[in-house]
Structure formats: C-alpha cells, structure tokens
Amino acid sequence: MKRVKKVGKSVLQTGPPAPDRKAVADLINSHSPDVYRLALYLLRSGEEARDAAADIFVKIYANPGIIPEDHFRAWLMKVSYNHCQDILRKKSSFKRLLPKIYTRITRSPEPTPEQAVLEADEQSGVRQAVARLPDQDRAIVFLRYYQQLSYAEISAVLDIPEATVGTRLHRAREKLKKDLTGEKGGAL
C-alpha cells in the first residue's frame, strides 16, 4: 500500500511502486481465454461472458496493486468465479431465461461462433451430464478438468478446504458415472 507524504505544496508517494501497466496488460492478455471460458461455462451466454471478463480485467488494470505476487492464476480464477456468482445472484431465473427464449425465436440459420461452441458442447454426452450437476459440483469439475487447476488452487478459488474439494470431486464423478452409464439409484 502506498503512503502519501505531504511536503510543502507537493505530495510524495512512498512505498512499493505500482506494477508496470505493460506487464499487467500482458498478464491480462495471456489469461483472458481462461477467464472467458470460466465465465461462459458459468453464465452460459457468450455476451454475458465477454462483459464479465471485460469487467474483471478493467478492475485489475485500474488497480494493479491488488495483483498477488504468487498464485496469480488461482487468484484470477477465484476473482472470476466470484464475479460470475455475483452476476448470477443479481439475476432472477426469469431474466436468465429471456435471452435463451429470444435466441430461439430469432435464431438465424447460421449460428454465431458462441452458439456453435455451446451447441457442440451440449451435443456431447459428458458435457450434458456435467451440465446437470449442481452448481458447486459443476464448478469443481470445470476448474479441475477444463482449467487444469490443482486441488489447492480449487480450494483457494472456491474458499473451501482442500479435503472438501476431493470429496465433492469424488461425488461429482460418481454422479457422472451413474448418469452416463444409466444406473438407477438414489441421489448422493
């Protein structure tokens, strides 16, 4: 944190210097696909995902002092996850359905790139099964298998103990196994 020292009519800033804006921009550029994919996966809308990613990076670029020196990727995923959760909390389920209804009514014969990606994902049996998982399980599966985060990084992103990550991931895999093999049984 910078300290401000007043000397006569001048103000001097002391403390560690702010990170180089070019370095911050490079970090943002190198991690923007990961943030966008996480936002797209959680928000299920290309437009909302782009907006969310932009909001996240604007905040980071405007406040480079908040960037941690180590574990940047895990920190960024946590910031992104929390931002997307805030967006979802603010929206009612009806508002979330409106874009889907509108898209179905006005769908053009040529799907947009985002629609093509989402439709390709929905056609995959595994991805459909993952989409049916509860939000917490889906987030853990996404962070582990799609973002390749370690248990420790997932623990930091979701703010839960590392052992809980392992337990939830195991339960999610069991649910997926039952769903994909067509086994009947009670919910776990």
CATH number at residue 136: 1.10.10.10
pLDDT in tens, 84-124: 998 888 875 545 455 555 555 555 567 677 777 767 665 66
> Which pLDDT does position 109 carry in this prediction?
62
- Other beta carbons less than 10 A from residue 66's beta carbon: 11
pLDDT at 50 over 80: yes
> Which pLDDT does position 184 carry in this prediction?
57
Q: Please report whether residue 188 resides in a domain.
A: no
pLDDT in tens, 140-187: 998 998 888 999 999 999 999 999 999 999 999 999 888 877 765 544
Residues 101 and 128 in one domain: no
The total number of structural domains in the chain stands at: 2
Q: Please report whether residue 7 resides in a domain.
A: no
> Which pLDDT does position 14 carry in this prediction?
46
Q: Please report whether residue 8 resides in a domain.
A: no
CA-based nearest residue to 148, from 74, 39, 52, 54 = 74
Spatial distance between the Cα atoms of 126 and 146, rounded to a whole number of angstroms: 13
How many residues appear in the chain? 188
Give the domain-ending residue among 53, 85, 109: 109
Amino acid identity at 186: G
pLDDT at 63 over 90: no
> Which pLDDT does position 107 carry in this prediction?
54
The per-residue pLDDT of the chain, averaged, comes to: 79
> Which pLDDT does position 4 carry in this prediction?
44
Q: What is the mean pLDDT of residues 30-50?
A: 92
Domain limits at 131?
Answer: 124-183
177-182 — which CB contacts under 8 Å span 24+ positions? 179/129, 179/132, 180/125, 180/126, 180/129
